[in-house]
């Protein structure tokens, strides 16, 4: 009896162990891994993560057009109307206005005024020498209406205590510089204004001397008259040049 009970007990324990092993095997099979009875189940090896796909390079956006940049106008090959913007036209007009207008004075006028100034300077030098040496002027009579000595020795031959011949010499030294081609082509407004102002003063002085010769002294001097005529011509040419070609505007700082 005792032996049969022990056998049944061992059989029951064996069945219980078998049932436990079968449940464990079932659970292992449910996880997708087969395991032997009584052997620890090996953990699944983790699958290597897939290499992420490199994102596509974004397309570079088109460069935006800078605001306010003027576009070049296309001029027809055969020549056509000027299609530049108003800003370009304004800049062109401004540059034209600032260009020295004296540059358009013709060369013949520049050389003519310089020659006249040199002639006036030569006569003034001769009159100055004759005044201080008290020598008679060549080719000039000393009687009647034409009397050079009477004119050059009269009280009116001095202005503010300075001999008129010396004043004429100083005037024509300045006139030669102002009538040179360099001065005519200069863009400095001051040079053109000084030239015009000096001729205005000179012509006023000449009118006074003519009045003195004709109405006070009663005689004229041929050399003095030649200087007066040169001054008149220079005055006329200078005024004409200012009226025809203008005076340069003041340069901007």
* The model's pTM: 0.59
Residue 80 is predicted with a pLDDT of: 47
Distance CA(112)–CA(236), nearest Å, equals: 12
Which stretch of 77-81, 150-154, 187-191 has the lowest confidence by average pLDDT? Answer: 77-81
Quick one: which H or E segment has residue 158? strand 158-159
Identify which has the larger pLDDT, 15 or 185. Answer: 185
Residue 193 is predicted with a pLDDT of: 95
pLDDT tens by residue, 129-155: 999 988 888 888 777 788 888 898 899
- DSSP H helices in the chain: 2-30, 86-98, 107-133, 148-152, 164-178, 181-185, 189-211, 222-245
Residue 4 is predicted with a pLDDT of: 53
Residue 251 is predicted with a pLDDT of: 62
pLDDT tens by residue, 204-222: 999 999 999 999 999 999 9
**Residues pairing with 159 in the sheet:** 162
What is the set of domains in the chain, with CATH numbers? Answer: 107-245 (1.20.1440.130)
């Amino acid at each position: 009896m005792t032996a049969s009970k022990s056998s049944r007990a061992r059989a029951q324990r064996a069945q219980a162990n078998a049932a436990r092993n079968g449940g464990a095997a079932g659970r292992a099979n449910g996880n997708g891994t087969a395991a032997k009875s009584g052997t620890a189940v090996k953990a699944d090896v983790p699958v290597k993560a897939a290499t992420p796909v490199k994102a596509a390079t974004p397309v570079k956006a088109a460069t935006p057009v800078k605001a306010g940049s003027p576009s070049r106008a296309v001029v027809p090959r055969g020549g056509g109307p000027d299609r530049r913007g108003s800003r370009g036209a304004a800049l062109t007009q401004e540059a034209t206005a600032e260009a020295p207008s004296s540059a358009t004075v013709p060369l013949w006028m520049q050389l003519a005024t310089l020659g006249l100034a040199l002639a006036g300077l030569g006569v003034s030098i001769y009159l100055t020498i004759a005044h201080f040496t008290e020598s008679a002027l060549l080719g000039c009579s000393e009687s009647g209406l034409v009397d050079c000595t009477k004119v050059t020795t009269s009280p009116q031959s001095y202005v503010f205590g300075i001999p008129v011949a010396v004043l004429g010499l100083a005037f024509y030294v300045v006139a030669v510089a102002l009538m040179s081609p360099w001065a005519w082509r200069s863009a400095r407004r001051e040079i053109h204004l000084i030239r015009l102002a000096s001729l205005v003063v000179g012509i006023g002085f000449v009118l006074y001397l003519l009045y003195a010769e004709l109405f006070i002294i009663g005689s004229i001097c041929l050399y003095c008259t030649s200087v007066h005529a040169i001054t008149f011509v220079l005055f006329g040419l200078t005024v004409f040049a200012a009226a025809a070609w203008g005076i340069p505007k003041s340069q901007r700082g």
